[in-house]
Each structure stands twice: as C-alpha cells, then as structure tokens.
Chain A
Amino acid sequence: MLGKRTVTIALAIVTAIALHARETVRFMPAWTPQAQFAGFYVALDMGFYDEEDLDVVIEHMGINSSKPGIVRIAEGEIDMIGSHPIQALIARDAGTKVVNTLQVTQNTGIMVVSHKPIVNLQSLEGAKIGRWQSGFSEICELSCKANNLNVIWVPFLNGINLFLSGAIDATVAMSYNEYNLLVEATGGIPEENCIHFSDYGYDIPEDGVYVTEEYYNTHRETVEKFNRATCRGWDYCIEHPDKALDIVMKWTEKTGIRTNRYHQSLMLKSMNGLIVNPRTGKADYSPIPEDKFNRLIQALIDMQYISSPTSYKEFIK
C-alpha cells in the first residue's frame, strides 16, 4: 500500500517538473556588451526571463572575432540573435532561413561621417569608406549603389581608429555608438560632415530578434516568452534609464569592454529614442510595415543583394 502511494507521488512530481521544465535560450546580440542591447540585459538581470521559465544565456562575439551571428545561428551555436532585417534577408537568400520574431527599433541610426563636409550622397563619389565586416552597413552600400556612386568600401572589424588614422575618407557609424565615440575622440564632429541615411528614404528599422525557421517552428512558445520578457526589459530601460545603465555597466565591466558610463548613457538615450514612437510617446515594437518590407525586398533584388524575393509572412513572425 505504502509503495503504491510513494510511486504515485513520485510520478506526480516528475510530471510537474516535466510540465514546468525551464528551457535554456542562447541569445547573441549583434555586438559586444553596450547599451544598444540594454533591454536584454535588464530582462535577464531583473528576472523577466526567469518569470517566463527561461534560462537565458547571453553570449557575445569577441572584439577581434569576425564571425557574424548569422553564421553562428546557422551553425547551431546559438538559438537567437540580434540582427538587422537587411542582413537577415541576405542571409536568408544565401540559405540561412532566419525569421524576424521581434522588431525592437523602428528607425535606422546608420550614418556616414567624413573628414570633409558632405553636401549630399553625391559627395561620397570616389570616397574610400570604411564598413563593418560583420555587416549592418548594407543600407549605406545599397543607397550608394542605387545612386550609381563609385565608392571604395573598406571592410574593417570595429572602432574608429581606421577613420582617425586618415587611412579612409569616411566611415560608417551608428548614431548611438560610433558617432559618439568620434565626438569623444575629437571633441566634436561638424554636422556638415555627417550624412544620415534616414534622411534619404532609407529609414529601415534595425535591431530585431531573429531565429531560424526551424527553431521558430519547434519553439514558438519559447520565442514568444523571450520576446515578451525582452519588451518588458526595454520598457524598463525607457522608464528607468539610470538603473538600466547600472546593469549595462555591470555587463561591460564583466566582459572587460573599454567604455565609460557617459558614452553608454548617450547610447541608451539614442536607443530609447529609436524605440519610442514620437507620436504616441510609448515604446513601439511593431513589425516592419508590409509596404516598407516589400520596397526593401525590391531594392535588394534590384541591387542584386538577393536573388529571389521573400514573402512578408515568411519573414515576419
């Protein structure tokens, strides 16, 4: 009699554990720890992922690593990545079937900073411009190509030293990161030396969360939980930027990233600005609008970045 009861209780515990099994998610942001990914760190640090029964592990690419997240997700090293739609679409066209599960920012922060004043896109004709090897600067390339500009693209890993050394005429930069680094290195960048691609009809949303189609199909609930907790993390960043900054600085210190609080505060402020809808004043995690997506697909095909179209429904989840 006693043995039967014991077996019953043991089965019940095993069933309960099985029902509430915590799942591990390996997430890799697009770059090394910085305020650009504050929402993910906050969600982890504040226990938002934990509340969704997720054991999230955030991994970063090394500073000297040139292996993009798209490659890593394709190789199964990680489950989710932070990336940009263009990069994901190019990867998808190349065979890595990734899908967008969450769009964090609604605007682009991509820009080009030059040693000399830039009047318009045509000012870049013949310029030697640095671009990241890991991607994220495709909008610049696409827009130059669309304008038939003869630009010499110089791939590099990261940072601003290539530009500061004078080895190139201009460099791609993110308004929330490299631009501020340049300001901190020079004391100020004249606005006439900058060109923002959002001003030229290339305001393509950037940071989003991507998984492979296969992962999405088998872990749909996990993805939803992850995205829900991530949005809570970003909401917290918008409401409590100082506390969020504390968490970001813990990550930069832990991973030995050379940065400072002032730089990260500027970055977080810029990120919050890219997330909050100026019309509503609230965070907007809407997916890319379908018409904008279709125009992007057409442009990528026209410029031969991709060979075949991807449907909105296939890509946006």
Chain B
Amino acid sequence: MKASGSFAKRLSLNIISATGLLLILVALLLGFFSYIVNYKSAVKEASASLENNLLDIEKMLTDVEASTNSITWLLEKFNDNGDAIIDVAEHLVTSDTNIVACAIGYEPFEFDDNSVYFCPTAFMEGDQIRSKILGSADYDYQLMDWYLIPRLLGKPYWSEPSFDSDGSGRLIASYSKPLYHENGVFFGVIKADIDLKWLTEKVQAIKPYENSITVLAGRNASYITHVDSTKILNETLFTQALEAGDEKGLMVAKDMIAGNSGVQHFGNTRENGGIIVYGPMDNGWSGAIICSYSDIYSGVRKANLITLLIALLSLVALYYTDKSIIQRLTQPITEFAYSALNIGQGNFHARIPEIKTQDELRRLHDALGYMESSINNYIAELRTTTASNERFESELNIASAIQMQMLPKDFPNCDEIDLYATLHPAKEVGGDLYDFFTNGRNLYFCVGDVSGKGVPAALYMAITRAAFRFIAGLELPAEGVVQKINNSFCDGNDSGMFVTMFVGCINLDTLEMKYCNAGHNPILIISPDGKPEYLHAKPNLAAGLFEDFPYQGETMQLEKGSRLVIYTDGVTEAEDRVKNLYGEERLEQFAAKEDTAEDSVSFLTNLAASIKSFTLDNDQNDDITMMSIRLK
C-alpha cells in the first residue's frame, strides 16, 4: 500500500502504534494478574464468609442441643408424672427463645399401660405457651423420622427441615434426643423444634458480592435455604444437575453431601461462569456460596476500562505532541526536499537550508551541497565535451562529404561498357574505395578495402585512390600499379595499415583484361549466358605489408555480354541477426538469377536490396562497395 500523509504523521502513527501495542501488552499482563489476584481474593473471602456463618449457625444449633440435653434428666426422673412432663416441655420452649415447640414422645404403654401413644407437646402460640397431648393411629409419631431415627440410631439426631404441619408455612428443624431409663432401656424421644426463619434471613444476608447466592442443604441434599424460595425442600442440590446432565454439578453436590469442603469453577465463559465455595456443618448439613465471575471481576473490569480510557487519551495526546515535535525536527528535510526538487528542475544553484547541528541533517546538508557542486562541475565538463563532439561530428560530416566527392560520379555507359559503382560506409567515413577512368581505349578500374575503419581508414582510402589515379595514369600494368602503391604505402607506414584491392584494365577494343588481385575478394564474372563464376586470381598480399613484394598480374579475355562484379568483403560478410554471412554462394546465386542484359545501376540496386533483405534491420558492420562492369 502506498504510504500517504506527511512523514511526521506517519512517524507519529508508527510511534503511537508501537506505544499502543506496548500499552496493550502491559494492560493484558496487568489485567491477567489482576484477575488472578481477584480470583484468589474472592475464594478467600467467600470461604471465610461461609466458614464464619456456618460456625454461627452451628453455635445456635449447639445451644439448642445444650438446652434440650440439660432437661432430659428431669424426664428420666419424672416419667410417670404427666403434668411434670408437660412442665418440662413448656419450660424448654420458654427458656430458649430459639425453640418454638417441644414434644416428648413415649414408647407404647410406657407412660400408661393402656395407651399406645403419649406425646405431650408444648408450643408457642403468639406470645403464649400452649400444650396438648398428641399421638393416635392417625398421628403415629412413633413412625415419624424425628422419633424413629434417634431411636434406631441410639443418639441425637437433627431431622431434615420441613414445613410445619400446622399450616403456618414455617420452616422448622428438629433436634431429637433418645431417652433412656437408668437401666439403659429406651423409653422415648424428646424433640425441640426451631424456626428456621432466622436461618433463612441469616443465610440470605451472606453476600460477599452483590449477586452472590448462598444456599444451605440438608443431609438429603434438599435446599433448606435458597434465593428462589420455590426450590426450598422441593429440589435438591442434584435436581438441576440431573435434569441438565451436568456432570460437574453432580460432582460438586456429591462432594457437599459427603461432608467435604472445596472450591469449584462452573460455567463455560466468564459471562455465565463463576465459583462455588462449599463446606459442611457438624450436623450433616452443608452450605455453599455461589459467586459469578461478572461480580468477582466487576472491579477489575472497571479498573481496566478506566486504564484503557486513560491509555487511549494518552495515545491521542502523544500523537499530536509527537507530530508537532517531528514536524519541527523534520522541517529542514522538507526544505531539503524543495532544494532537491529545484535542483531536479535544473536550478543547480538552489539554496540549501542552513543546518547548525552536527547530526544526520548536517550530513544530509553536506551531501546535498556536494551533489549540487558535482552536478555543476559535471555540467561544465559536459558542455565542453559536447562542444568538442559537435565540432568533431561536423568535421566528420565534412570528411564524409569530401570522401564521397573523391569518388567518380560520371559512370560510363557507352557502346562498349556499362559501369556503375556504389559505396556505403558503415560509419561517417570508411576505408573502401573504388575508382575508374579511361585512358584512350583502356578502362582502368579498381576496388579496394583499407584495413580498419573510421578516419584512419578514410585517410588511407584517400591516399590509395589518389595513388591509383596517379600511378594507373602512367599506363603501368595492373601488377605494376599495385606494386607502386604497395611501396608508397610501406614507406613510413608505422600504423601498419594496408589495403586489399583489385586493379584491372580492360582494352575496350579487344576486351582483354589485365588485372592484379592484391589480397582482395575474388571478382565475379557473369558470362553472356548468365552463368556466374568467381575469378580466382594468383595469390598476392594486400598492399602496404611488405615493400617490393613481387605482385603478379594476369590476363584474361572477356566476352561481349559478360559482366564483372567487383566488391569488398562488406558484401559477402554482411551479417543477419544470428551472425550468418551473406557469403559468396548467396552472391553467386543472386548473380545467376539476374538478367544478363540488365544495366549496371539496376543490377547493383537489386544486389543492395538482396543484401538488405538478408540482413534486415541488423546494423551494417562494414563498408559495402560494389562495382558492376557490363560489356556490351
């Protein structure tokens, strides 16, 4: 993505991002540790609260036990005095405000030989103490839990809480103690009922957190207290877990009724989860406090939220502060940018901002100054070089023109011959040459190729052409012409230049041709019937290599209607893109296809086209010189 906005803005954003990331990391760590600390604190607080309250409840129950136990000796002593027994029951109810009723049940025929049932009962009715004798076939207390269980167990028993049968809706629990004669024979049970209203209120008040729920359950797991009153004695610790198939809930409930204490996590998320802290009581009941995580962590969450808000505000403030500082610090960079832009637009003397500090900006200032100075120097050198090149190019163009002007332009097309020649240098000037002239009835001609290219070759070309025209004018044989040119070249040829050349002289009357080939390409002779054939002359060295080299000339008789094609190696060594050469064979094939009566201009024009169609747009790498002499 392409960066947008100012550098100061982006740098600020980067700093803010990094800082923000760091802050988030720190906040996460802080949050994590806060959660752990809160969790441990919650467990500790809930456990302590539960333990203290269960101890309070146990103390109250113990007081009831003590009150009841303290009067049993009276019953054992006065078990045949009905009024005294009722007095004992009433005394217990009036002396202990926690006790709301007292029943003393006897075994069949224990009190009265004729009576199966005898169960004096004292109870509070408003603020009045009342009493009555219970027991009948329809109210067989001897089969009830409060009587039967302590009788069978032989020890006191706290009955499971139940709603009072008097229809008051009062939740009561009973402490029952078996009674024995001095001889150890069981004769009845005394029962003290307590109103559990205070217990419900006390348990409901246990709230380590605002929404905490505290429950108390009996040995049979029935809820004795619960925030949802419809569950009291209707449901057990297991009911919901059984219905929902909640294995964890079952495990906790089992642990509770087994008389264990513990802490368990429940729920799947921090939203609906929490902890349950539970513990037992001496009488087999158990209590539990349920605290939701939303309660436990509400403080942490608020603190985290405030921290987050402060962090966000700090980041915003930091952003604008950073941006302002960075803008001030990077102002010179902006100015440097303008300076660089000015320089780029050609103002190589643009003002570079002053930097007084010794830092990166100072180094940037120096570098920009050095760049400006270097550019100015380079431009000055470039101007000089360009002027020099332009001058040289101009001179070279003049040289090219002069070189072309050296070549003869009046091509003979008379009754005997039709001659035409072309020279296309590879550069502005070249080392190829051709020349011809007639002297009487003799046609002198030559085609040469000076070694090397460019200006040195062009100079030698000019010398060779001048030497040919002068020496050939002395009517020397062809080999003599070459020998003279060789010797003049060898004299003071320190640069080692040489020239290959084909020098010929045709007698226009007899059509006899004398010639000498000094290291040049074989010429092509096309017979009147159109058959091309290379003329393989005697081997001679190129001129300019060895002084006084004995060049050998040759003579041949030409026929009317034949054509001579003299050329330089620029023709046969013309290259296509893949470095294939045009070659002698392709030249021979071209010549074979051409009309023998075709004039020399057309012939060479077609030959040039053939070479071009071979090389296509590949650069010409050598001078191309061609001469066509058609004997009519």
What is A's interface to B at a CB cutoff of 8 Å?
A: 62-67, 128, 133, 154-157, 159-162, 164-168, 183-188, 256, 258-260, 262-263
Contact = CB atoms under 8 A, between A and B. Distances in A.
Nearest to A134: B143
A65 B148 contact: no
Given A157-B143, A185-B221, A185-B222, A168 B138 contact: no
B155 to A, nearest CB: 10
29 contacts: A62-B165, A64-B144, A64-B165, A66-B138, A66-B139, A66-B143, A67-B138, A155-B143, A157-B140, A160-B220, A161-B149, A162-B145, A162-B152, A164-B219, A165-B149, A165-B219, A167-B148, A184-B235, A184-B239, A185-B221, A186-B257, A187-B221, A258-B162, A258-B222, A258-B234, A259-B234, A260-B235, A262-B235, A262-B242
B521 interface: no
B248 to A, nearest CB: 12
Contacts of B585: none
B236 interface: yes
Contacts of B231: 260
B220 A66 contact: no
B236 A184 contact: yes
Interface string B224-260: 0000000101111011011100000010011001000
Given A64-B165, A165-B157, A262 B139 contact: no
A183 B145 contact: no
A63 B152 CA distance: 21
Interface of A is mostly: loop
Contacts, number: 96
Contacts of A258: 162-163, 222, 233-234
B145 A161 contact: yes
A227 B164 CA distance: 36
Contacts of A167: 148-149, 152-153
A188 B250 contact: yes
Contacts of A166: 153
Contacts of B140: 66, 133, 157
A167 B152 CA distance: 6
B242 A183 contact: yes
B137 interface: yes
A256 B144 CA distance: 19
- 10 closest cross-chain pairs (CB), A and B: A167-B152, A66-B140, A185-B220, A258-B233, A187-B254, A184-B236, A67-B138, A260-B235, A262-B243, A165-B149
Contacts of A63: 165
B159 interface: yes
Nearest to B251: A187
Contacts of A64: 139, 144, 165
Contacts of B159: 161
A154 B152 contact: yes
Contacts of B241: 187
Chain B binding site: helix, strand, loop or mixed by DSSP?
Answer: mixed
Contacts of A156: 143-145, 148
B245 to A, nearest CB: 12
With most chain B CB atoms within 10 A of its CB, the pick from A65, A167, A256 is A167
B160 interface: yes
Contact of B238 (A133, A155, A159, A184): A184
Contact of A67 (B137, B157, B162, B163): B137
Nearest to A160: B220
A161 B220 CA distance: 7
Nearest to B244: A262
A166 B153 CA distance: 8
Nearest to B158: A165
Contacts of A256: 163
Nearest to B222: A185
A310 B419 CA distance: 160
A120 B139 CA distance: 36
Contacts of A128: 152
Max chain B CB contacts within 10 Å: which of A154, A168, A187? A187
A133 B143 contact: yes
Given A63-B165, A67-B138, 8 more contacts: A66-B143, A157-B145, A164-B219, A183-B242, A186-B254, A258-B233, A260-B234, A262-B239
Interface in B155-179: 157, 159-160, 162-163, 165
